[in-house]
Every structure is written in structure tokens, then in C-alpha cells.
Chains A and B, each alone.
Chain A
Amino acid sequence: MRAPESLPALRVVASPATLDGLAWPDGVTALRLATDDLLIIGKAMVALDDEPAIVEKDAGYAGWWLTPDEFADAVLPHVDWALPVTRPVLAQGLVAGVPAKIWLTDDRALLLCAVAYAHELAERLA
């Protein structure tokens, strides 16, 4: 497994309705970590009209963009829980015993975890 890449992001915490109404350009990956919590990977600006919100730059994630084959070979054997079958989808759970998130689309996968765990996950997937 190659070294993880940093994933500069924007973190937006706001009401579910506010987050539902947000839009972003192509090339941006927006992961809904919770109903009130959004992680936007890539360059994005968020405009919120007087809504209570917490918007913070977030350098706390690192990860791997993978092809479906790479994901099946390197990651799937370390996932001891049922992955959702729909696409695109965000799944969250332990990968090789490390808290991680998995973003799955039809043509690629993103495995990400907190930077604090990235070394551990990389070693376990090696």
C-alpha cells in the first residue's frame, strides 16, 4: 500500500436542511458524515446565509484514492462488515481494526481515516 495522501478539506456543521441545500462544483467530494456534518474534500467555498454553522478548514484526514480492483485487493479483505451495495455511498467502520471511512462510487473508491491513524492503517494494509 502506498503512503496515504493528505486530503485538505472543509468541514461544515449545520442543520440538516442547510446542508441539504448546499451545492458544489465538479471535482469536489462531499461526504455526509452525519446529518449535521459535512466533509468537503477539495477546493470549495461554502456560503451560508445567516444560518448557525461551524465552517472550519480540516487537515485531519488522509487517505487513498483507489480503483475498484485496488480496493477489492487491498482493502476489502480487511473489512469485516457488510458494505452497502448502493453507489455512491459512504460507509464508516473499522478497516483492519482502524476507524475509517469508505467512499464508494461506480468507478473509484476513497479510503480515508484520521491522519492520526493513517500510519497504523497503512501498516496494516501493507
Chain B
Amino acid sequence: MRSSPGRFLLDGVSLAYEPGDTLAVAVVRAGAHPGQGGTLCLAGDCGNCVAEVDGIAYVRTCQTPASAELTVRRHPPGGPPAWHDPAPSRATPEVRRMEADVVVVGGGASGRAAAAESGRAGRRVILLDAGEGIEVIALYAGPTLIVRTREGLLHVRAPEVVVATGAAEIQPVCSGNQLAGLVTARAARQLYAAGIDLGVAVAIGPPPDGVPCMPLPGELVRIEGEERVSGVVTLHGGSEHTTPCDTLILNLGRSPRDVLARMADDLPVTVVGSAAEAFPLPPAPSAGIVCPCVGIGVDDLEGVWARGFQELELVKRASLVGTGTCQGSVCLPHVRAWIAARTGDTPGPFTARPASRQITLGEAAADVHLDAFRRTPLHDEHIALGAQMDRFGGWWRPWTYGDHLAEYRAVREAVSLGDVSTLGKFVVDGPDTVAFLQRLYPTDVASIRPGRSRYALLLNERGHVIDDGMICRESESRFVLTFTTGGAGNAEMWMRDWVETWGLRVLLLDRTMSLAAINVTGPRAGDLLARVGLADPPRFLQHVRTELAGMPCHVMRLSFTGEASFEIHHPIDRSADLWRGLMAVGEDLEIRPHGLQALFGLRLEKGHVIIGMDTELDTTPRRLGMEWAVNMDKPEFLGRDALARTAGLPDQRRLVGLTMPGTAPTEGSPIWSDSDIVGHVTSSFASPTLGQAVMLGWLKRAPFPTQVEIDGRPAVVTPPPFYDPEGLRARS
């Protein structure tokens, strides 16, 4: 449907348009250039007509119908579009989804033919035509096409995709190719059909049918003019000829519009028509702007080539050629020709990646969700207690309830509750369970008696620590395993892979999100639990199944804080009841909950590592000083061969304890020795109990110094644990 005549705003000036005009055509009709100069294709192939339309930059004005509501601002010369502060508020584009048997991209002759053929075969066909304002901007596995329409985004999934996007016209690369007044043959036809006077028009290459112009023989040498073309120089008969003109029409050949095809990789995509043709490349350029979108000239290509970037993908990365608005549509044939002239080999086109068109942040964010963070069943309890919640390991967790030192003291001096529901929790059972765990863990699992538990490292084949946790034996064949909060997901995959690899009869159930866990810790923890029915508490590293406050619980005696601790695993639907019950009966024991901030300090006083925080990807038990957790007498376990092989080799890395007076340095602080950085701090805490800063940190240069400098202050390498080194409090 053709629109009525009207006016829109161009750079603040009212401009008339005729029915059927795009913004670009209307601007040319007014004698101006819609962009910053350069050849106009008016087919959406180049970036020479992009402008800001209603506050959105990089809009192809040749693809945007003119209408009276629009405000157009041309991008400033040589710089980025104006920044709007604050940015205009816009609704997030709506995303619709469609499915079909076949999607045809391109509404030209080959696209229509492909669609008709599939339709006759009774298949559901969707035809997406950029000419109708429906632009396919990305192709992903599925295959799924991401499509921009005037109504929003469209996700189309189909088992077969036909790319029939046709061919773009080659644009000139020579001196003066950024002037106004240059048009491709198709653009010339479009402008002439719109009734626009092209003035004195000359054509290089076959002149467009029906457009009054003078064809020029010979090759294009350069284009002359100030802002607009005034003449063209051609090489003909061995000499240069200058021809004055108002419009230069360029019909220099074509190149396939194959950006989607190049995104497809191994996807079931068929390319038909001109998009599949191998057109001849243009002559290698010797001067002028090659990539008008980014402003890369031939001299820039020569610069990166001289620096050693002598391959198409490297030239692209080093010069940024092809990374602009048109994603190589204009420059790619020229760059390939330029490289071919230097090497004798014509490189294939560079890789195409989504998106093939500029998209707004709103379009990029449409229907995209942030990672979902889990809540423990005690989330509302924490909020009610004034907790400051933060994200850790994929969960919302209480960082502090407002006074982390008071929380710390509650653990050291009274009793405290910690929500450890986020820990990985697994049940394993089956006839081969012991054999499985013996091969999985470096500790001697077979020696753990029912009712007992043991701390264990989890190693990969290289002997690197990938997680840690507890092994609790319940019976001859049944075990409960715990893992770190962040490691639980990987632990499950890890175990299932090895069960399958080893062909063992082992059953595995992830209980992480079915069970909650509360850590009751502090010198009065036993008193508190006696009040809710734990008359015979397990001793250190024992565990029992029992009822507390009328609910089934699995109570594990261990310690991460350094105080007597009972980890109570229980059904999540009863967790809030248990938490409230414990808080209520512990009131006179000065109970209060503790968050992660206090917990990190408490465990650091004990020198307990946090996997991922204190460890690195290639951390071995030896580097942690935890060789005690590895039983090399076992004939087989994951990582054993690597540990045996490297045991006698020198090692320049150690995680060590450090102490220093005063405040705790920032975690990550460099560790200095003899004016060199020899490591960094991984964990740091100003211990109220010890009256000094305690730290863990990596030393990465042997011989390991004993006196170092951190934060401009002297620090001493001090073997952990810093607090209660005999472990008497945890066992009390």
C-alpha cells in the first residue's frame, strides 16, 4: 500500500516525501545524501545510508518507508552516532514463535520458486522477505532463525532452511568513492522510477535499462569532486579520461548475499539462486576506502599485512575490515581480491556470525533471561531476619544479618544457625558402590564404617582438586555424599560418567534440592539440639538418622567453623519449622544465625579451603598441603597415576597460611618477596579472636619465603589452622 505524500524531520528540518518513498529516496530527492556519502545501493546491502531514526542508530534508511511520524538524524561525520542520555525508554520487543517444515529466506524469483515447490509437496512453508520488512538477522542450530519484523522479533524453527537472498552489487573502491552522487545500477533504476532527476548521469559497466545515462568505456580509476561527484576518471585506450557528471552509475558486478549461508555451517541449509553463485571478484583495489562502514582503506590493509596478518581472518581481526554495519557485504569481495593479488590464492569468505544486522539492546535482550538463582526453603526466614542476600554458586544466600562480627561471636561463644541447604547432597547405593567410591575418591572409602563419615577431596584424572565434601556411610552399600554448593551439578555429571565408564551397578540420587540443611554450630550446639530431642548426639565424624522436633533428620557431626557442629539434613517442606523451632528454644542460649561473611572468617581461622576460591584449576593435594587426604596405598583411584608421577618432581606452588598485624588486606592482594611478586592472597580475615589478620595465599616461587610483604606490611607464613590447632573445640 502506497503512503500519501508528507513530511518528516531530517536533522531538524522538515523534508517532503512522495508516496512510496523510503527515507533514503526522499533524502536523495531533496538533493542530499542520507548518510555520510558513498555509493547508494538502496537494497539494504551496504551501510552507506544508515542514520538515526526515532532515536535508533544504524537504521538503513533505504529499507525504511518514509512517514510523517519519523525523526531522522544523520550520523555525525567520522564519528559514532549521538549518545542519548538518558536513553529513550522503549518497550522490550515482543517475541513470537513459529514453526514450519521449510523456511525460505528471500522473496525473489528463486525464493518464490523454492517456496512454491515445497508448498506443492504439501509442506508447511514460511517465506521471509526482507523486501517486506522481514529481516533474518541470525541463524542458529535447530535450525532457528531470528527474524526482525516491524512488529517485533520472530523466532522461526524449521528442519529445512532455503537461503534465496540473491546477490548484492559490487561497490567501487577507488579514490573518491565516499562522495555523494554514486549509485549502483539497481539504485539508479529505483531513483529514476521514483521520478528523481539524476542530472548528467554516466555509467561504468552496463548501463541500467531505461535510465538516461551515458555509458563510459574503460576502467574506473578515480572519482572526483568535493562532497559530491563532479567527474569520473576512467582508463581507456591506454590513457585517462575525465568525464564531468552529476551522478555516477556503477554496474561493476555482483557478489552473493550469503551471510546467512556462511552462518549455517553444518545446519540443513540449502542455498539457491544468485546467493549460491560464484561471481568473479572485482579487480584488487589500490586506493580508496574498502570498508566504508568502519572507514578502512587500502592503506590500512597494507599496514596490517606488513605487520604479519597475512590471512583473511587475521586481516579482518587486525584491521576490523568487515566488522561494521554491512558485515562485509561491501568490502569482502574487494578484500578477497586484494589478498589474492598478493598471494596468488583466492581466500574463501570469512566466517559470518549473528547478527547480520545492527540490533538494539532491546532486541538483543528480548526473551533472554538472566540465570535463574535458586532460593533455599529458608529464604523468607533470612529476609525476615534482615539478611542481606547475595548470589553464590547459583543460589541466593544470606551474606550477613547486619552484624557479621556478632554472628561470628555467636559461633565462637554460644550457638548459631547457618543455612547450608545449598550443599550438594547425594545418595548412592547398589552392589558396586564401595568399589565405585574407592575409585572415585583418594581416601580409603572401604575403611569408613557405617555411622561414620570422612572429609574427602575429589580429584580428576590429572590429580587436580575439583571439589570436596563428606562421605557418610549408612550401610554396607549405601552412602550419603556431600559436595560444595557450586560443585554439586558437576559432581553429579562426574559420578554418572564414571559409573557408566566403569560399568558398575551403582544407583545415584541427587537430593540437593529435595533436602534442606541447617548447620547448628557453637559450644552450645549440643545443648540446643538436646532441647529438640537429640538426647544422644553423634560424636565427631559420626552421623545418625533421628527425629528432631518431630521430623526425620539426618544429623552429621563435623566442623567447618572450628566449633562443635551438627549439620541437620531434613525435608525442605519442614525446614522453616525446624529453623524457627531451633531459634525459639535457643533464645536463652544467645542463639543467632550467621551468614557467609562470618562463615568465611570462621573457616579461615581454621585454615579450611574453599574449592574455587582458594584453589586453582590445577591445584593438587600437595599444593594445598593436604596430602593427608590422599591414600596412595590404594591401588587405584582417579588421579592416582598423575600424583604418583609428579610426587618426586619439584613444585613451585604452595597454598600457605599467612598472618600479619592490623587490618586484613584485600583478597587478591599480591604477595611480595625481595621486591618481586611471588603470589597472591586468596582469603583474608581480621580475626577478632586472634587479634591479627589471617590469610590463605598462593606462593608460586621456590624456595618458598617465610617472611613476605602484603599491602606494604610485613607478613609471616604461618601453618594453619590458626585457631584451635588441636581441634579440641570441634570435638568437644
| A59–B374 CB distance below 8 A | no
Determine the residue in chain A with the shortest Cβ distance to B433.
Answer: A52
Determine the residue in chain A with the shortest Cβ distance to B571.
Answer: A59
Per-residue B-contact encoding for A62-87, CB less than 8 Å = 1, 0 else: 00000000000000010010100000
Also in contact, A59 and B372, with CB within 8 A (given A52-B477, A52-B505, A80-B97): no
Cβ-based interface call for A20 (8 A): no
- Mostly helix, strand, loop or mixed at chain A's interface? mixed
Cβ-based interface call for B108 (8 A): no
Cβ-based interface call for A101 (8 A): no
Nearest-CB distance from B369 to chain A (Å)? 3
In Å, the complex CA distance between A53 and B478 comes to: 10
Q: Please indicate the chain B residues that have their CB under 8 angstroms from the CB of A36 in the complex.
A: 507
| B155–A13 CB distance below 8 A | no
| A97–B155 CB distance below 8 A | no
Q: Please indicate the chain A residues that have their CB under 8 angstroms from the CB of B477 in the complex.
A: 52
Cβ-based interface call for B157 (8 A): yes
| A115–B377 CB distance below 8 A | yes
Determine the residue in chain A with the shortest Cβ distance to B368.
Answer: A97
Determine the residue in chain B with the shortest Cβ distance to A96.
Answer: B369
| Interface size, A (range) | 20 to 34
Q: Please indicate the chain B residues that have their CB under 8 angstroms from the CB of A119 in the complex.
A: 375, 379
Nearest-CB distance from A123 to chain B (Å)? 10
| B369–A54 CB distance below 8 A | no
| B511–A56 CB distance below 8 A | yes
Of B371, B374, B376, B431, the contact of A52 (CB 8 Å cutoff):
B431
| A11–B505 CB distance below 8 A | no
Q: Please indicate the chain A residues that have their CB under 8 angstroms from the CB of B508 in the complex.
A: 13
| Interface size, B (range) | 20 to 34
Which of A36, A60, A80, A119 has the most B CB atoms < 10 Å from its CB? A60
Q: Please indicate the chain A residues that have their CB under 8 angstroms from the CB of B430 in the complex.
A: 52
Q: Please indicate the chain A residues that have their CB under 8 angstroms from the CB of B373 in the complex.
A: 120
Cβ-based interface call for B99 (8 A): yes
* Beta-carbon contacts under 8 Å, B352-377 to A: 367-377
| B514–A54 CB distance below 8 A | no
| B157–A82 CB distance below 8 A | yes
| A54–B372 CB distance below 8 A | no
| B367–A80 CB distance below 8 A | yes
Determine the residue in chain A with the shortest Cβ distance to B377.
Answer: A115
Determine the residue in chain A with the shortest Cβ distance to B96.
Answer: A77
Q: Please indicate the chain B residues that have their CB under 8 angstroms from the CB of A60 in the complex.
A: 511, 513-515, 572
Which of B368, B372, B374 has the most A CB atoms < 10 Å from its CB? B372
| A54–B374 CB distance below 8 A | no
| A54–B509 CB distance below 8 A | yes
Cβ-based interface call for B427 (8 A): yes
Also in contact, A116 and B370, with CB within 8 A (given A54-B507, A80-B155): no
| A114–B429 CB distance below 8 A | no
Q: Please indicate the chain B residues that have their CB under 8 angstroms from the CB of A117 in the complex.
A: 372, 374
Of A54, A97, A115, the contact of B429 (CB 8 Å cutoff):
A54
* Beta-carbon contacts under 8 Å, A34-60 to B: 36-37, 52-54, 56-60
Also in contact, A97 and B427, with CB within 8 A (given A6-B573, A54-B507, A115-B513): no
Cβ-based interface call for A124 (8 A): yes
Cβ-based interface call for A31 (8 A): no
Nearest-CB distance from A103 to chain B (Å)? 18
| A124–B369 CB distance below 8 A | yes
In Å, the complex CA distance between A8 and B573 comes to: 9
Which of A96, A115, A117 has the most B CB atoms < 10 Å from its CB? A115
Also in contact, A120 and B372, with CB within 8 A (given A13-B507, A52-B429, A56-B427): yes
Of B368, B372, B478, B572, the contact of A98 (CB 8 Å cutoff):
B372
In Å, the complex CA distance between A115 and B97 comes to: 28
Cβ-based interface call for A14 (8 A): yes
Determine the residue in chain A with the shortest Cβ distance to B369.
Answer: A97
* Beta-carbon contacts under 8 Å, B509-523 to A: 509, 511, 513-515
Cβ-based interface call for A88 (8 A): no
* Beta-carbon contacts under 8 Å, B414-440 to A: 427, 429-431
Q: Please indicate the chain B residues that have their CB under 8 angstroms from the CB of A56 in the complex.
A: 427, 509, 511, 514
Of B368, B371, B573, the contact of A59 (CB 8 Å cutoff):
B573
Determine the residue in chain B with the shortest Cβ distance to A119.
Answer: B375
In Å, the complex CA distance between A124 and B368 comes to: 11
| B505–A13 CB distance below 8 A | no
* Beta-carbon contacts under 8 Å, B482-510 to A: 505, 507-509
* Beta-carbon contacts under 8 Å, B659-688 to A: none
Nearest-CB distance from B656 to chain A (Å)? 37
In Å, the complex CA distance between A52 and B326 comes to: 62
In Å, the complex CA distance between A120 and B374 comes to: 8
Q: Please indicate the chain B residues that have their CB under 8 angstroms from the CB of A13 in the complex.
A: 429, 507-509
Determine the residue in chain A with the shortest Cβ distance to B574.
Answer: A59
Per-residue A-contact encoding for B371-398, CB less than 8 Å = 1, 0 else: 1111111010000000000000001000
Nearest-CB distance from A45 to chain B (Å)? 17
| B511–A114 CB distance below 8 A | no
In Å, the complex CA distance between A23 and B697 comes to: 57
Per-residue A-contact encoding for B41-79, CB less than 8 Å = 1, 0 else: 000000000000000000000000000000000000000
Also in contact, A37 and B509, with CB within 8 A (given A54-B427, A60-B514, A82-B99): yes
Nearest-CB distance from B83 to chain A (Å)? 30
Which of B431, B478, B509 has the most A CB atoms < 10 Å from its CB? B509
Q: Please indicate the chain B residues that have their CB under 8 angstroms from the CB of A37 in the complex.
A: 509
Q: Please indicate the chain A residues that have their CB under 8 angstroms from the CB of B374 in the complex.
A: 114, 116-117, 120
| A116–B369 CB distance below 8 A | no
In Å, the complex CA distance between A1 and B372 comes to: 18
Q: Please provide the 9 A-B residue pairs with the shortest distance between their CB atoms, ordered closest to farther.
A: A97-B369, A60-B514, A116-B374, A59-B573, A114-B513, A120-B372, A98-B372, A60-B513, A52-B430
Q: Give A residues with C-beta under 8 Å from B.
A: 6, 8, 11, 13-14, 36-37, 52-54, 56-60, 77, 80, 82, 96-99, 114-117, 119-121, 124
Q: Give B residues with C-beta under 8 Å from A.
A: 97, 99, 155, 157, 367-377, 379, 395, 427, 429-431, 477-478, 505, 507-509, 511, 513-515, 571-573
* 5 pairs, CB–CB < 8 Å, chain A vs chain B: A13-B509, A14-B507, A77-B97, A115-B513, A116-B376
Known A8-B573, A53-B429; 18 more pairs at CB < 8 Å: A13-B508, A56-B514, A57-B571, A58-B514, A59-B572, A60-B511, A60-B513, A60-B514, A80-B155, A80-B367, A97-B368, A97-B370, A98-B369, A99-B372, A115-B513, A116-B513, A120-B373, A120-B374
